[in-house]
């Protein structure tokens, strides 16, 4: 399923003559979980606020479910659920009453959805306890439950696992994956917790200083982060035949620039080097590559590797 849920074209947002988002263009397809990765101040929340209509761009366009223009966007936002920055809760109300308030506000007649959602996010037993007495994790869960009201097709969650305990993190992660798989819900999550995003998202959007630096799939990210021997030489075809015949491996990949990524023999680099040398191949680069998720992110945004 590749229906385009959200398409953003050249979006620019300015605060006090400073571009906080600059020519941002992204496309979200249905049924995927997008991890929005960026440092503090990178523009993650601003981007989400623009999508939710809480803020207006200086230029560029937002297309939601194939519709653009202010009036149409307003209508299409009924298909959207969001929790941006921190959950919006009425402190003197219980979890059930908070959900009821938002259910009425959205015109959802089905009262049973309140109990269902509370159970879904693990707040089924909170009873009359007021939201002001909730822990940060409980507030986050309630915020997610509110965002899920009306079964939205696009769910926007800004740092949803903030304040959650390890079990809560796993529960919310499983919930999001389940929603994506079972309901074809598209989810856009921002997080600083890269390992957590790595376990949840199917696609990644790396944003830095208001610009989209990279969009990539999980497979591509794994590929980029996977440790390998990177070999650049004058005869890549001969190199690959040596790898297959002498080292009995096909676990390599020829890159567009004709360099070769070898995923085996990382512990026996000397053997590989000797074979290449003995076969008269001139090597211009022979190095161990691959990163942790954090270091990969740092390399993309232009910082130094902390490996």
Residues in touch with another protein (CB under 8 A): 49, 52-56, 74-78, 80-82, 84, 86-93, 97, 100-102, 104-107, 146, 150
Pick from 42, 44, 22: nearest CA to 34: 44
- 141 touches 122 (CB < 8 A): yes
Pick from 179, 191, 3, 156: nearest CA to 79: 156
The helix or strand, by DSSP H or E, that contains position 10, with its residue range, turns out to be: strand 4-15
Q: Least distance in Å: CB of 209 to another protein?
A: 20
Is the backbone of residue 279 left (phi > 0), alpha (psi -120 to 50) or beta?
Answer: alpha
Q: DSSP code of 54?
A: S
Residue whose pair of structure tokens reads 């959900």 in the numeric block: 99
Which one, 89 or 293, has the nearer CB to another protein?
89
Q: Least distance in Å: CB of 91 to another protein?
A: 7
Which one, 75 or 174, has the nearer CB to another protein?
75
| Residue 9, CA distances (Å) to 6, 47, 140, 171 in order | 10, 12, 31, 34
Which one, 55 or 295, has the nearer CB to another protein?
55
Q: Least distance in Å: CB of 102 to another protein?
A: 6
Burial class (CB in 10 A: 0-12, 13-18, 19+), 209: middle
Which one, 78 or 227, has the nearer CB to another protein?
78
Q: Least distance in Å: CB of 288 to another protein?
A: 47
Which one, 48 or 172, has the nearer CB to another protein?
48
Q: Least distance in Å: CB of 266 to another protein?
A: 48
């Amino acid at each position: 399923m590749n229906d385009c849920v959200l398409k953003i074209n050249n979006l620019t947002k300015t605060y006090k003559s400073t571009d906080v988002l600059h020519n941002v263009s992204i496309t979200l397809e249905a049924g995927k979980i997008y991890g929005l990765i960026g440092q503090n101040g990178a523009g993650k929340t601003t981007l989400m606020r623009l999508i939710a209509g809480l803020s207006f761009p200086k230029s560029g366009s937002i297309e939601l479910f194939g519709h653009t223009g202010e009036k149409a966007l307003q209508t299409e936002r009924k298909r959207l659920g969001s929790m941006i920055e921190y959950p919006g809760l009425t402190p003197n109300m219980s979890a059930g009453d908070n959900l009821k308030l938002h259910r009425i506000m959205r015109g959802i007649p089905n009262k049973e959805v309140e109990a269902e959602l509370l159970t879904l996010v693990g707040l089924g037993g909170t009873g009359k306890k007021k939201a002001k007495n909730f822990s940060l994790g409980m507030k986050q869960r309630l915020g997610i439950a509110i965002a899920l009201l009306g079964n939205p097709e696009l769910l926007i969650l800004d740092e949803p696992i903030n304040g959650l305990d390890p079990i809560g993190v796993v529960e919310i992660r499983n919930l999001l994956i389940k929603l994506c798989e079972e309901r074809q819900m598209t989810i856009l999550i921002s997080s600083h917790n890269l390992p957590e995003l790595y376990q949840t998202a199917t696609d990644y959007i790396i944003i830095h200083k208001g610009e989209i630096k990279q969009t990539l799939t999980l497979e591509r990210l794994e590929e980029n982060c996977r440790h390998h021997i990177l070999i650049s030489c004058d005869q890549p075809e001969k190199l690959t035949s040596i790898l297959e015949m002498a080292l009995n491996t096909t676990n390599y990949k020829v890159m567009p620039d004709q360099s070769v990524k070898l995923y085996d023999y990382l512990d026996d680099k000397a053997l590989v080097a000797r074979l290449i040398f003995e076969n008269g191949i001139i090597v211009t680069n022979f190095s161990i590559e691959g990163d942790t998720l954090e270091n990969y992110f740092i390399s993309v945004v232009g910082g130094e590797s902390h490996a």
